[in-house]
């Protein structure tokens, strides 16, 4: 085909600035070809280059004696968990594709992160997700007060002028996106055969039109099995493995690095890839078997930017060059151009560099698994990525220049003016609650708090028989068993001897309250890390490391970039405080639609290790007569709005999304976590549940109603709570305030005094506030007593989302 002339208009369509294009011309010493222009476009997109966030990412803590592969080195980070075993894990986004095609966007998001794991030589053993959508219930879609600093940050979604028909259409679309994404995640994970064991889902109109879909995967391997994505060995052949290349997914990385509008979504519908989980399973098993032969010199998946990214990044890492022949690339569409072949993001494809002379082993293994393969190139010493097509040289670019020397920007950051109103917000004019039971029921029914069983019952969360704590508690826990590990080479097997391993227990969670981050990016990001680590502590785990997904709006506006910058500062401080170094992650910018930007949502997933099976702890109360103890202050009296800033209570009951979020003192949080883990390891704690959205009353209710003993069969166990000693405090703040660093635990009645005294000795406020038993949640306060049957609490909490989606 005849390639179009390179014009300023064509450059702009490729999302390159005039300065970036001039830099590309300088690197080449000539005008780029059309294919080269496309390559610069995807490789210098935010999705691939982090050109706007790279200076910020350098502030993350990334070092630890346990880290074997660190952030930015490879496709995923790897951490030692003892006895020669390691875990590889990472989280990535598929936001814009999921907004356009929710099912395929979600499936390929899962497929991409799974490939990142087995590319490292690890066997994927579990998946986690973090999701955000617009409201799915009319009451939540009602107007929520929100002050903003500019029309661009203007209130999203339903306004006072929205008609009932428009409101219904918005709710219907939100439900469509939600259902499509959950179905896509379930389809890919279930078919591939990987348990989806944890996650989080929030609903807020800030995500209306721009949902967030973050996928996490964790894999297991021996230290000696770590595989690098470097094109090593001049003269080594390059193999393409996996299904044929098509036109799906063209320029997906570039699409993910621009604002999402109706026009761009329609134009880029073809930028959404199509996934095949059964093919991915074959590719995974074949690659792990191939790695065991020792014939692989380097391997990388063709993810974002497809063949382009895998070739130039592998060459750049090794300091070599690479030459490929596009006529040898399997193609499923006729007459594909070099531009299309290089930028296609067709799924389930791998690029493998093989030691010269061992090609037949590659062919034998992939033929055995009935997988397409082709020898398409060779490693050179030129330092250049060269691509030939139809007998012509169509690409000749210095690999390191394009992979490692993308433009880097120091963006201007200005504090948004709306924060003045946020900080000045007080509770004057907001009446204290007089209907605590009704308020509690409304909070439990709010989809962001309600049980996510409608979501996770669609996932197979027990396949491979490694799941210890299933979805529905503070953190998931899985067992790392002998059969979790990839097959060993003969050489490694001889070295290891007995292949069995002592089982390891890994806990994981993912967290972020985007509303907190909008109201105070620094404190909100710290809270995200603290809550994730608190969830691990409640499960009996110590943090090992973290992976983050920065879901952010445009970095080009100073007020929005300030949100990004402050969020990263908060994440970095939180990870340092809890000794949870960041091993990698993803930046997803330009998350905004014509209605405005999303709330900045720096999602953090933290992975931890539990020493013994008896230390595994869940959130629900266990036995009648057990004592209930609150660790941490019931209310932060130094907070002028007593932990109600940005709270679920203010949003659901009063329609206000305002006020500074609760303060997060990292030292206080760290002391709490250390104390709690010590109590758990002493065998004193029967249950532990952190207080987060909805405050103390919601945490207590969930401790009573969240245990599931069979499909759709809960075990309800009541509690009698006495908070009457807490006087001169607003009832809504006491029950629904979201003061940080609080955990509700239960223990044997005989151990209650011991637990309280030990906690106080460690510097953690502690008090026995009640006992387990009965069929109601009864709470006595200084202003009165109220009670609710557990069946009346469980029903709205358990069924809210299912009813909305019916």
Q: Would residue 47 show up in a list of annotated catalytic residues for this protein?
A: yes
List for the chain the helix, strand, coil content (%; round to 5).
40, 25, 35
Contact 508/197 with Cβ under 8 angstroms?
yes
Joined together, the tokens standing for residue 275 give 């996934």
**How many other C-beta atoms lie within 10 A of the C-beta of residue 360?**
10
Phi, psi (rounded to 5 degrees) for 640: -60, -20
Joined together, the tokens standing for residue 483 give 């059969």
Which position has the token pair 């949870």? Answer: 580
E strand map for 466-567: 467-469, 476-480, 504-511, 542-551
Round to whole Å and give the CA distance between 522 and 340. Answer: 42
Round to whole Å and give the CA distance between 213 and 102. Answer: 9
Contact 552/601 with Cβ under 8 angstroms?
yes
Round to whole Å and give the CA distance between 527 and 524. Answer: 5
- Is residue 438 within a helix (H) or strand (E), and if so which, with residue range? helix 436-445
Nearest CA among 70, 104, 101, 100 for reference residue 88: 70
Round to whole Å and give the CA distance between 796 and 439. Answer: 12
Joined together, the tokens standing for residue 26 give 């300088």
**Of 23, 94, 461, 673, which is the active-site residue?**
94
Name the maximum alpha-carbon separation found in the chain.
85
Tell me the C-alpha to C-alpha distance, in Å, between residue 279 and each of 244, 296, 462, 747.
11, 21, 22, 49
Sheet containing strand 504-511, edge to edge, reads 467-469, 476-480, 504-511, 601-610, 542-551, 582-588
Joined together, the tokens standing for residue 107 give 């499936």
Secondary structure of residue 149 in the 3-state scheme:
coil
Contact 499/488 with Cβ under 8 angstroms?
yes
**Of 14, 23, 47, 389, which is the active-site residue?**
47
Round to whole Å and give the CA distance between 647 and 243. Answer: 48
Contact 494/221 with Cβ under 8 angstroms?
no
Is 275 exposed, middle or buried (CB count within 10 Å of its CB: 0-12, 13-18, 19+)? buried
Spell out the residues 6+ positions from residue 511 whose beta carbon is closer than 8 angstroms to its own: 200, 528, 529, 531, 532, 535, 603, 604, 605, 606
Contact 310/399 with Cβ under 8 angstroms?
no
Nearest CA among 424, 242, 228 for reference residue 313: 228
Contact 229/300 with Cβ under 8 angstroms?
yes
Nearest CA among 320, 494, 345 for reference residue 398: 320
Tell me the C-alpha to C-alpha distance, in Å, between residue 401 and each of 14, 26, 737.
19, 11, 52
Round to whole Å and give the CA distance between 250 and 41. Answer: 12
Round to whole Å and give the CA distance between 374 and 324. Answer: 11
Q: Would residue 187 show up in a list of annotated catalytic residues for this protein?
A: no
Round to whole Å and give the CA distance between 802 and 806. Answer: 6
Nearest CA among 663, 680, 676, 664 for reference residue 765: 676
Joined together, the tokens standing for residue 333 give 């569409």
Secondary structure of residue 323 in the 3-state scheme:
strand
CA 383-363-289 angle, 5° bins = 90
- Three-class HEC string of 460-480: CCCHHHCEEECECECCEEEEE
If you count them, how many residues does the chain have?
806
Nearest CA among 601, 556, 416, 467 for reference residue 195: 467
Q: Which residues are catalytic?
A: 47, 94
């Amino acid at each position: 085909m005849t390639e179009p002339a390179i014009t300023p208009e064509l450059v702009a369509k490729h999302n390159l600035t005039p300065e970036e294009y001039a830099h590309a011309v300088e690197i080449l010493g000539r005008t780029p070809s059309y294919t080269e222009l496309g390559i610069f476009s995807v490789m210098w997109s935010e999705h691939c280059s982090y050109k706007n966030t790279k200076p910020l990412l350098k502030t993350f803590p990334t070092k630890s004696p346990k880290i074997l592969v660190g952030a930015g080195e490879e496709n995923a980070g790897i951490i030692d968990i003892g006895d020669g075993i390691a875990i590889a894990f990472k989280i990535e986004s598929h936001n814009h594709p999921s907004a356009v095609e929710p099912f395929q966007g979600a499936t390929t998001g899962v497929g991409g992160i799974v490939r990142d794991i087995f590319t490292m030589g690890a066997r994927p053993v579990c998946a986690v997700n973090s999701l955000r959508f617009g409201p799915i219930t009319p009451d939540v879609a009602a107007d929520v007060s929100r002050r903003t600093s500019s029309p661009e940050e203007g209130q999203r979604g339903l306004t006072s002028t929205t008609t009932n028909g428009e409101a219904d259409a918005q709710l219907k679309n939100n439900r469509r996106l939600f259902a499509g994404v959950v179905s896509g995640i379930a389809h890919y994970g279930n078919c591939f055969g990987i348990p989806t064991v944890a996650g989080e889902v929030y609903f807020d109109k800030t995500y209306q039109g721009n949902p967030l879909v973050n996928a996490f995967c964790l894999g297991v391997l021996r230290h000696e099995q770590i595989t690098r994505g470097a094109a090593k060995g001049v003269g080594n052949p390059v193999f393409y493995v996996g299904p044929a290349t098509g036109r799906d997914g063209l320029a997906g990385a570039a699409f993910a690095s621009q604002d999402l509008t109706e026009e761009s979504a329609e134009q880029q519908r073809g930028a959404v890839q199509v996934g095949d989980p059964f093919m991915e399973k074959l590719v995974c098993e074949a690659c792990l078997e191939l790695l065991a032969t020792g014939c692989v010199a380097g391997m990388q998946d063709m993810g974002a930017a497809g063949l382009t990214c895998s070739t130039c990044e592998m060459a750049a890492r090794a300091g070599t060059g690479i030459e490929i022949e596009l006529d040898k690339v399997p193609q499923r569409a006729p007459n594909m151009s070099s531009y299309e072949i290089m930028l296609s993001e067709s799924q389930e494809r791998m690029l493998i560099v093989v030691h010269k002379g061992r090609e037949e082993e590659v062919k034998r293994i992939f033929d055995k698994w009935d997988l397409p393969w082709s020898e398409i190139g060779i490693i050179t010493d030129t330092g250049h990525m060269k691509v030939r097509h139809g007998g012509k040289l169509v690409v000749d670019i210095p690999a390191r220049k394009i992979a490692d020397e993308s433009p880097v920007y120091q963006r201007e950051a200005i504090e948004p003016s709306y924060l003045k109103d946020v900080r000045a917000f007080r509770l004057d004019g907001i009446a204290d609650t007089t209907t605590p039971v009704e308020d509690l029921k409304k909070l439990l029914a709010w989809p962001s708090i309600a049980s996510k069983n409608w979501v996770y019952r669609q996932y197979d969360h027990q396949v491979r028989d490694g799941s210890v704590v299933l979805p529905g508690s503070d953190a998931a826990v899985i067992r790392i068993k002998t059969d979790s590990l990839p097959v060993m080479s003969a050489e490694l097997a001889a070295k290891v001897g007995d292949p069995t391993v002592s089982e390891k227990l890994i806990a994981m969670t993912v967290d972020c309250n985007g509303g907190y981050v909008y109201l105070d990016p620094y404190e909100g990001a710290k809270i995200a890390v603290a809550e994730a680590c608190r969830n691990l502590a409640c499960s009996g785990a110590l943090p090992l490391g973290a992976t983050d997904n920065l879901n952010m709006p445009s970095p080009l506006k100073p007020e929005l970039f300030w949100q990004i910058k402050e969020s990263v500062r908060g994440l970095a401080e939180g990870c340092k405080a809890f000794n949870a170094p960041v091993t990698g992650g993803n930046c997803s910018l330009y998350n905004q639609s014509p209605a405005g930007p999303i709330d900045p949502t720096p999602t953090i997933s933290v992975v931890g290790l539990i020493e013994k099976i008896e230390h595994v702890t869940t959130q629900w109360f266990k036995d009648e007569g057990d004592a209930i103890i609150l660790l941490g202050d019931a209310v932060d009296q130094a907070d002028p709005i007593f932990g109600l800033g940005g709270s679920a209570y203010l949003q659901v009951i009063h329609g206000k999304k305002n006020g500074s979020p609760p303060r997060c003192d990292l030292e206080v949080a760290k002391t709490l976590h250390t104390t709690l883990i010590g109590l758990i390891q002493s065998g004193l704690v029967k249950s532990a549940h952190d207080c987060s959205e909805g405050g103390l009353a919601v945490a207590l209710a969930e401790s009573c109603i969240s245990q599931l003993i069979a499909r759709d069969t809960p075990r309800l166990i009541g509690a009698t709570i006495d908070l009457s000693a807490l006087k001169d405090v607003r009832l809504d703040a006491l029950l629904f305030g979201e003061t940080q660093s609080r955990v509700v635990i239960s223990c044997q009645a005989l151990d209650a005094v011991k637990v309280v005294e030990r906690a106080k000795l460690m510097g953690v406020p502690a008090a026995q506030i009640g006992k387990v038993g009965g069929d109601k949640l009864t709470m006595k306060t200084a202003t009165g007593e109220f009670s609710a049957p557990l069946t009346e609490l469980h029903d709205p909490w358990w069924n809210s989302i299912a009813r909305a989606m019916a």
